[in-house]
């Protein structure tokens, strides 16, 4: 564990010294939430959640803030997963030669990423509470954390398959923004209640986020379990991709 | 393995595409105290051979045995860009299981011998290519490995560092280390105890005058 | 001129063989454009433009028009950024090899212009296939203006900070914030604020909104002039910074 903790420390140091990090972890979520507040339409809309639960006419600003807060944390999670994964792709080789096992590298990386995810969820979650006081605050952060984890795993998988950082960046921006800020946004999207959204990474965390924000109902239900299951599936895919890479 | 051999590769076959092997029934034995130079055309598989020796690639056939720890200096720079020189020594030294005091001591000694002590607190992204390459090589020496596997280790180094590099190799050789170096430089051949050429997936010794692979004449 | 076209051809081949370029500059923007039409809620919107005229339409149609501009801004900004960054990298070896300074500057520019005009037509074609605007030529013109302005933005960013990943991020972020939000009537809290007029995409968006939803134009001349001046100013600034970078910029460019 000494090796793992030491490696995690250095990975964190290398990550935090990157030029973009201050922007990514602090300014970027603020910018996105600001856009949500400024871009909220006047017209309230009811939210039809899964399981026929209807939230009647919440304030549009609150919907936008919740939606875009999830966008912010999802983007940060995906981007940090991608950047660290991409860098470690080549460095892992050298670490293995020195005696570090692949699972130790993975664990060290996971420690760093979980730390970043928790930080950005706490930060963005707290900022969002200037505009909305969630009915279930614990689940508010829980939903954001689940969304961040899912997208972090997505970023890690992308790091393994993308051949350039710019390509990965663009894919992440496209997927995360389209999913969280658009498709899963009941104000902006006319597809919000369609069943196929279930396969998207943000669907269950967003459903949970709205429940936590507006109703406090059915929190210990399908959404949380499905989001955890989704994360496990993505983890399995990540491990499979890493194994396939090692086969010449 | 024979008593002095620290590395033995027997009938090694490897290819990224199994239908097109790059290494074919390759044999190699290296004794302690040898400096073996390996040369070959671009794309002949030299880096692949070194990666197989170090254990990063698993041969589809054959075996490779290394006695003791191996140190590896890759052709490309594999360093943490936003960590300093000293921090890079520490992260790779800790990966090797070395205590911090030993890492710092070895790092100071290596930096002094290769002439880049003044960059100790400089981040890798701010170093020149040659200095970064010195660090890339120096890290392979952490933990005093019995076998050194070096892939074009002095690209971009200045002459003084190049001379210092070879002095270090000779000192390591006298201490019974085995060193395998991939090099394109003809003048290095006199520094090797043995020169091998990787041709058609196999290693062959430089046989005679006029050997095309030694650059003494046309093929 | 032979040298210029030869270089333009080489740059094009080099760029278009890269998956990142094809995806980021051409596929991604079209996905954005199509998804704005496919996903957007059918809610009524009412807003005014700079001339004071009021537009009433569905959010789907508004988003489609602004989505087309956003798609072109991303395409133009990213492509110009990538070509300019690459041109910076190889400029000196090309000159040593015998290319004139003019060819080295004009070759990439020609490559950018040619590709982007084709992309603009494609973007316009897709948008009008999904919904026909009131004044198609006006919308086409707004797409072209956005293309020129954001090509200048991309070239400027590459001149100052040619690192691919960070530069791409800046271009994407700027085009999103500008065209999907601030210059866009969707961004109700910031739309038509005085500072919003300074964004690269503002005037082209005004033309697009008027041409998309009204039968006559009032802003076309003014908006065209301002948009072209903006593009020209950014372009000249890029050239000036390239030829005579101030000390602080030389340091920043070396670090990049």
Question: pLDDT of B94-133, one tens digit each?
Answer: 999 899 999 999 999 999 999 999 999 999 989 999 999 9
Give the count of domains, chain A.
Answer: 1
Q: Is the pLDDT of residue C242 over 60?
A: yes
Q: What is the pLDDT of residue A248?
A: 56
Residue indicated by tokens 């660090």:
B135
Using a CB-CB distance cutoff of 8 angstroms, which residues of chain C are in contact with residue A194? none
Q: Does B102 touch chain A (CB under 8 A)?
A: no
Q: A193 near A22, Cβ under 8 Å?
A: no
What residues make up the domain containing A149? Answer: 2-245
Say which residue, C132 or A42, is predicted with more confidence.
C132
Separation of alpha carbons C91 and C88, rounded Å: 5
B152 CB burial (10 A radius; 0-12, 13-18, 19+): buried
Mark which residues 148-187 of B lie under 8 Å from A by CB. none
* Chain C: partners with 3+ C-beta pairs within 8 Å: A
Separation of alpha carbons C114 and C83, rounded Å: 12
Q: What is the pLDDT of residue C133?
A: 85
User: Residues C178-182: contacts with CB within 8 Å, 24+ apart?
Assistant: C178/C73, C178/C202, C179/C66, C179/C69, C179/C70, C179/C73, C179/C146, C179/C205, C180/C66, C180/C67, C180/C70, C181/A35, C181/A38, C181/A39
Q: Is the pLDDT of residue B155 over 70?
A: yes
| Whole-number average pLDDT of chain B | 88
Q: Does B76 touch chain A (CB under 8 A)?
A: yes
Q: How far is CA B33 from CA B5, B13, B67, in A?
A: 10, 27, 13
- In chain C, the residue whose alpha carbon lies closest to the alpha carbon of A184 is C39
Outline which parts of chain B fall under CATH 3.40.50.300.
1-68+147-152+180-208
* pLDDT tens per residue across span C86-120: 888 888 888 888 888 888 888 888 888 888 888 88
Nearest to A169 among C165, C176, C189 (CB): C165
- Determine the 3-state secondary structure of B180 from DSSP: strand
Q: What is the pLDDT of residue C188?
A: 78
Q: What is the pLDDT of residue A38?
A: 84
- Percent residues over pLDDT 90 in chain A: 53
CATH 3.40.50.300 fits B1-68+147-152+180-208, yes or no: yes
In the predicted model, what is the mean pLDDT of residues B168-184? 90
Q: C220 near C210, Cβ under 8 Å?
A: yes
| Whole-number average pLDDT of chain A | 89
* pLDDT tens per residue across span A86-118: 988 889 989 998 989 989 999 999 999 999 999
Measured in angstroms, the CA of A125 and the nearest CA of chain C are apart by 22
Using a CB-CB distance cutoff of 8 angstroms, which residues of chain A are in contact with residue B81? 14, 87
Weakest-pLDDT range from A14-28, B204-218, C199-213: B204-218
- DSSP letters, C203-226, are HHHHHHHHHHH-SS-SSHHHHHHH
Q: What is the pLDDT of residue A42?
A: 73
Interior CA angle at C133 toward C128 and C136, to 5°?
A: 80
Q: Which of A173, A180, A196, A202 to mutate to test the interface with C (most CBs of C within 10 A)?
A: A173
In the predicted model, what is the mean pLDDT of residues A11-20? 88
Measured in angstroms, the CA of C98 and the nearest CA of chain A are apart by 32
Q: B53 near B98, Cβ under 8 Å?
A: no
Q: Is the pLDDT of residue A216 over 50?
A: yes
In the predicted model, what is the mean pLDDT of residues A159-173? 88
* pLDDT tens per residue across span C133-153: 888 889 999 999 999 999 999
Give the confidence band of A163 by pLDDT, cuts at 50, 70, 90.
confident
Nearest to A13 among B14, B76, B83 (CB): B83
Weakest-pLDDT range from A47-56, A115-124, B43-52: A47-56
- Determine the 3-state secondary structure of B21 from DSSP: coil
Separation of alpha carbons C40 and C60, rounded Å: 5
Q: Is the pLDDT of residue B217 over 50?
A: no
Q: Is the pLDDT of residue B219 over 80?
A: no
Q: What is the pLDDT of residue B218?
A: 44
Separation of alpha carbons C230 and C235, rounded Å: 9
Using a CB-CB distance cutoff of 8 angstroms, which residues of chain B are in contact with residue A248? 14-16, 57-58, 60
Give the confidence band of B207 by pLDDT, cuts at 50, 70, 90.
low
Q: Is the pLDDT of residue C233 over 90?
A: yes
Using a CB-CB distance cutoff of 8 angstroms, which residues of chain A are in contact with residue C43? 41, 43, 45
Q: What is the pLDDT of residue B69?
A: 87
Measured in angstroms, the CA of B206 and the nearest CA of chain A are apart by 30
* pLDDT tens per residue across span B24-49: 999 999 999 999 999 888 888 999 99
pTM listed for this prediction = 0.88
The sign of the dihedral angle between the CA atoms of A132, A137, A139, A144 is positive
Q: Hey, are the CB atoms on C43 and A45 less than 8 Å from each other?
A: yes
What residues form DSSP beta bridges with C46? C56
Q: Hey, are the CB atoms on C187 and A35 less than 8 Å from each other?
A: yes
* Chain B: partners with 3+ C-beta pairs within 8 Å: A
* pLDDT tens per residue across span C174-189: 998 999 889 998 887 8
Dihedral, A66, A72, A74, A76 alpha carbons, nearest 10: -160
Measured in angstroms, the CA of C100 and the nearest CA of chain A are apart by 31
Separation of alpha carbons A158 and A94, rounded Å: 21
Q: Is the pLDDT of residue A8 over 90?
A: yes
Q: Is the pLDDT of residue C255 over 50?
A: yes
* pLDDT tens per residue across span A167-182: 888 889 889 999 998 9
Six token digits for residue B37: 């130079």
Nearest to C188 among A19, A40, A164 (CB): A40
Using a CB-CB distance cutoff of 8 angstroms, which residues of chain B are in contact with residue A8? none
Q: What is the pLDDT of residue A41?
A: 74
Weakest-pLDDT range from A52-56, A70-74, A239-243, C84-88: A52-56
Q: Hey, are the CB atoms on A164 and C20 less than 8 Å from each other?
A: yes
Q: Hey, are the CB atoms on A98 and B92 less than 8 Å from each other?
A: yes
- Percent residues over pLDDT 70 in chain C: 98
Q: Is the pLDDT of residue B215 over 60?
A: no
Q: Is the pLDDT of residue B83 over 90?
A: yes
In the predicted model, what is the mean pLDDT of residues B79-96? 93
Q: Hey, are the CB atoms on A170 and C28 less than 8 Å from each other?
A: yes
Chain A to chain B Cβ contacts (< 8 Å): 68
Q: What is the pLDDT of residue A44?
A: 75
Measured in angstroms, the CA of A143 and the nearest CA of chain C are apart by 24
What residues form DSSP beta bridges with B71? B148
Q: Which of B58, B71, B82 to mutate to test the interface with A (most CBs of A within 10 A)?
A: B82
* pLDDT tens per residue across span C215-224: 888 888 999 9
Q: Hey, are the CB atoms on A35 and C181 less than 8 Å from each other?
A: yes
| Three-class secondary structure assignment of C57-82 | EEHHHHHHHHHHHHHHHHHHHHHHHH
Q: What is the pLDDT of residue C156?
A: 93
Q: Is the pLDDT of residue A60 over 90?
A: no
Using a CB-CB distance cutoff of 8 angstroms, which residues of chain C are in contact with residue A45? 41, 43
Give the confidence band of B56 by pLDDT, cuts at 50, 70, 90.
confident
* Chain A: partners with 3+ C-beta pairs within 8 Å: B, C
Using a CB-CB distance cutoff of 8 angstroms, which residues of chain A are in contact with residue C187? 35, 38-39
Q: Hey, are the CB atoms on B78 and A18 less than 8 Å from each other?
A: no
Residues of A with CB under 8 A from a CB of C: 19-20, 31, 35, 37-43, 45, 163-167, 169-171, 173-174, 177-178, 182-183, 187-191
């Amino acid at each position: 564990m000494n090796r793992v903790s030491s490696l995690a420390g250095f990975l964190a140091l290398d990550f935090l010294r990157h030029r973009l990090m201050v922007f990514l972890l602090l300014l970027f979520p603020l910018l996105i939430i600001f856009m949500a507040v400024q871009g909220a339409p006047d017209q309230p809309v009811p939210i039809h959640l899964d399981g026929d639960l209807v939230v009647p006419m919440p304030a549009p600003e609150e919907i936008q803030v919740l939606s875009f807060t999830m966008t912010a944390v999802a983007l940060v999670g995906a981007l940090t997963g991608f950047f660290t994964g991409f860098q470690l792709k080549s460095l892992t080789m050298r670490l293995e030669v020195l005696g570090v096992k692949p699972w130790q590298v993975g664990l060290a990386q996971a420690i760093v990423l979980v730390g970043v995810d928790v930080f950005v969820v706490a930060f963005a979650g707290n900022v969002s509470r200037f505009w909305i006081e969630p009915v279930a605050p614990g689940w508010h952060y829980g939903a954001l954390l689940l969304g961040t984890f899912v997208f972090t795993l997505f970023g890690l998988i992308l790091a393994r398959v993308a051949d350039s950082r710019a390509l990965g960046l663009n894919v992440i921006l496209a997927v995360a923004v389209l999913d969280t800020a658009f498709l899963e946004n009941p104000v902006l999207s006319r597809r919000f209640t369609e069943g196929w959204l279930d396969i998207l990474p943000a669907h269950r965390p967003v459903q949970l986020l709205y429940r936590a924000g507006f109703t406090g109902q059915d929190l210990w239900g399908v959404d949380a379990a499905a989001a955890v299951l989704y994360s496990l599936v993505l983890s399995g895919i990540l491990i499979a991709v890493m194994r396939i890479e090692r086969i010449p | 393995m024979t008593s002095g051999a620290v590395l033995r590769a027997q009938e090694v076959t490897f290819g990224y595409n199994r239908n097109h092997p790059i290494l074919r029934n390759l044999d190699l034995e290296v004794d302690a105290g040898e400096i073996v130079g390996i040369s070959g055309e671009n794309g002949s598989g030299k880096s692949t051979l070194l990666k197989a020796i170090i254990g990063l690639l698993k041969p589809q056939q054959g075996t490779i045995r290394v006695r003791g720890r191996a140190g590896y200096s890759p052709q490309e720079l594999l360093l943490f860009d936003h960590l300093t020189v000293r921090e890079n020594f520490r992260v790779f030294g800790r990966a090797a299981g070395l205590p911090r005091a030993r890492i710092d001591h070895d790092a100071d000694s290596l930096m002094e011998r290769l002439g880049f002590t003044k960059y100790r607190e400089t981040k890798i992204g701010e170093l020149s290519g040659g200095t970064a390459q010195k660090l890339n090589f120096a890290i392979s020496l952490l933990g005093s490995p019995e076998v050194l596997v070096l892939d074009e280790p002095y690209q971009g180094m200045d002459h003084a560092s190049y001379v210092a590099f070879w002095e270090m190799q000779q000192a390591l050789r006298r201490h019974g280390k085995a060193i395998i170096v991939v090099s394109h430089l003809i003048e290095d051949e006199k520094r090797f105890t043995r020169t091998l050429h990787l041709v058609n997936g196999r290693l062959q010794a430089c046989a005679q005058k006029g050997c095309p692979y030694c650059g003494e004449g046309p093929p | 001129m032979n040298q210029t076209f030869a270089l333009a051809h080489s740059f094009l081949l080099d760029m278009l063989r890269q998956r990142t370029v094809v995806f980021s500059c051409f596929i991604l923007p079209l996905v954005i454009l199509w998804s704005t039409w496919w996903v957007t809620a059918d809610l009524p919107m009412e807003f005014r433009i700079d001339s004071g005229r009021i537009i009433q339409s569905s959010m789907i149609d508004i988003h489609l028009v602004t989505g087309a501009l956003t798609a072109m801004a991303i395409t133009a900004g990213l492509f110009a950024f990538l070509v300019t960054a690459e041109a910076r990298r190889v400029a000196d070896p090309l000159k040593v090899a015998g290319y004139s300074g003019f060819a080295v500057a004009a070759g990439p520019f020609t490559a950018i212009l040619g590709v982007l005009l084709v992309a603009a037509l494609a973007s316009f074609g897709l948008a009008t296939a999904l919904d026909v605007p009131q004044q198609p030529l006006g919308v086409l013109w707004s797409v072209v203006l956005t293309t020129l302005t954001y090509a200048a933005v991309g070239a400027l960013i590459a001149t100052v900070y040619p690192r691919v990943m960070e530069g791409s991020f800046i271009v994407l972020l700027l085009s999103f914030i500008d065209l999907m939000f601030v210059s866009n009537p969707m961004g109700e809290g910031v739309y038509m604020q005085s500072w919003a007029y300074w964004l690269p995409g503002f005037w082209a968006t005004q033309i697009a909104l008027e041409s998309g939803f009204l039968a006559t134009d009032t802003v076309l001349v003014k908006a065209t002039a301002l948009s072209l001046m903006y593009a020209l100013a950014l372009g000249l600034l890029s050239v000036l910074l390239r030829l005579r970078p101030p000390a602080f910029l030389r340091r920043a460019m070396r670090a990049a």
